[in-house]
Structure 1
């Protein structure tokens, strides 16, 4: 997929008009794509200072494709103890939400900040900007999988790639997985700025840091025991960089958990290319019974497209 164009061949430097998007005739399968681009259009057209897209925003495809595994609640207030003037300024520019999930008798919760101002065209057209808008299903299901399998991360060095605005799965690992350390990354500096502020509003028992990291940066060669990655396969041009990055950063006996929908043949292409350089890939369609039952319940929904909405788990290891 070319990052400079959308599905209707709009150039990235052109303005995006919601009314133009809605005018396009098409079948039911195109509706979700239109809504997703309407999120970007709404962000560009909204006045500065307006509320960010929330998990219940009327334009958000989460209303159609969410698996309802996360509960969100806006927090009336948040406090942070810091003398860093810049940090305090960034803190005030956000609305804070609690993202929580219930698994058996245990409740897992992290705090995430949403920027109060809208996003500029430069912000949205940056390297993988999709994580700046809302929590997508792959992030949601990866977070749920993480909290159901916390033993994977015990005493491990963990890296999240392409974590977007929240690095949500990585936050759950850091707070509940008893890892040795967690590094949260994304290629978009706006996303990482948000993550850095978010880290100040959560308590962790291990070192947690965040940084801007583009997958083709071969100077980043530190090894990790576990790497997690949600919905990072849809840019064809970046797939080789992602696979090379995994090869450089995954330890010889490490495990990468890649969560993504089929989305045409993008997932299969990822597996084929990964195997060519020496990875072993295990494709797991039914990785959690709760998620699977949610999928089955959505199959009759005309807005739900299994190919683009249902995330599949790929376990990646070095042969």
Structure 2
């Protein structure tokens, strides 16, 4: 689906956009709140688990904000990341999924933490992050700390990919890539979209919180299967969001060996349990707590 800039929409396209916005708003805020979030996280019901820390560096004239990301568990690690400005509404969802431009989702934070703590797993491997939004934090972190052969970070939204290009060109990031080939690209799934040049190319695929649109799950499973090498693995973090996690798991079992876990990290599990005990109502495990699904492609 091509991105549409015109404010004049057909009734059918308006209906699709509004339906997607309704789903996204529930995902962003939970059913008990009418809040939305801005790209810099200024209005959020749940800000994350504290696995990553941010320090504001600067703001561009257009309103984008540069942050330095660090991780308490990884002394010396730092990456420069630009967040896009503004909020999201139904009209911005008319084109390809724009959810990654809203904020950094908890699943991306947890997946980044996993990559930082398990970077040796990716040594001499080719890695692709799908649907990483405006930051692709996990893929960027891997490009910096691992000895991966190559890391491709991607999203299906043009604005996100343009921002990824800017992030990769930042000198503070480039100076840390060493011999890892790092690139960004527009990757979409569904419809007649094909990526023949990526087939069988990757040892690992990373994906965070991309399962909640019903019409995209089967296509995502097919894309992951196509671009993985035999015995390649996909590491997927996503919350339940009703039946969406289980629906994707059922689809994936037709093509992969599937392993799903909720107690994948003692640290994250402990934080999750503490959040559940908080009576403020801010934390909703259905939309905030990411489960881990690992897909292994049969040889």
TM-score (norm 2): 0.82
Query: Structure 1 residue aligned with 2:72, among 94, 102, 121?
Result: 102
Evaluate the alpha carbon distance shift between residue 191 and residue 29 of structure 1 in structure 2; reply closer, same or farther with a 3 A threshold.
closer
Aligned equivalents of 2:46, 2:285: Cα separation in 1? 14
Match of 1:70? 52
Counterpart CA distance in 2 for 1:211 and 1:8 is 25
Q: Deviation per CA, 1:98-119: give whole Å up to 9, x if none.
A: 111111x624221111234666
Which runs of 5 or more residues in structure 2 are unaligned? 1-14
Question: In the superposition, relative to structure 1, how do residues 285 and 244 fare at CA in structure 2: closer, same or farther (>3 Å)?
Answer: same
From 110, 117, 120, the equivalent of 1:141 is 110
In the superposition, relative to structure 1, how do residues 219 and 268 fare at CA in structure 2: closer, same or farther (>3 Å)?
same
Answer whether contact 2:53 2:71 (CA < 8 A) is retained. Answer: yes
Residues 122, 148 of structure 2: 8 Å contact kept? yes
Q: Secondary structure at the match of 1:4?
A: helix
Query: What CA deviation, in whole Å up to 9, does each residue of 1:89-136 have, x standing for no partner?
Result: xx7643210111111x62422111123466686544332211101111
Pairwise CA RMSD: 2.5
Residue of structure 1 aligned with 2:231, choices 253, 264, 277: 253
SS of residue paired to 1:60: coil
Question: Is the alpha carbon distance of 1:233 and 1:116 closer, same or farther for their aligned partners in structure 2, counting shifts above 3 Å?
Answer: closer
Residues 8/76 of structure 1: CA separation in 2 closer, same or farther (3 Å cut): closer
Select 2:188's aligned residue among 214, 226, 243: 214
Q: Name the residue aligned to 2:212.
A: 234
Deviates most, 142-151 or 220-229: 220-229
Equivalences, count: 269
Q: Which residue of 2 is the match for residue 269 of structure 1?
A: 247
Q: Deviations over 1:228-273 (max 9, x none)?
A: 0000000110001100001100110211100001111111111111
Could you state the TM-score of these two structures normalised by the residue count of structure 1? Answer: 0.77
Partner SS, residue 240 of structure 1: helix
CA contact (8 A) 2:259 2:293 kept: yes
| Cα displacement string for residues 274-301 of structure 1 (whole angstroms, at most 9, x for unaligned residues) | 112x211101211111111110110123
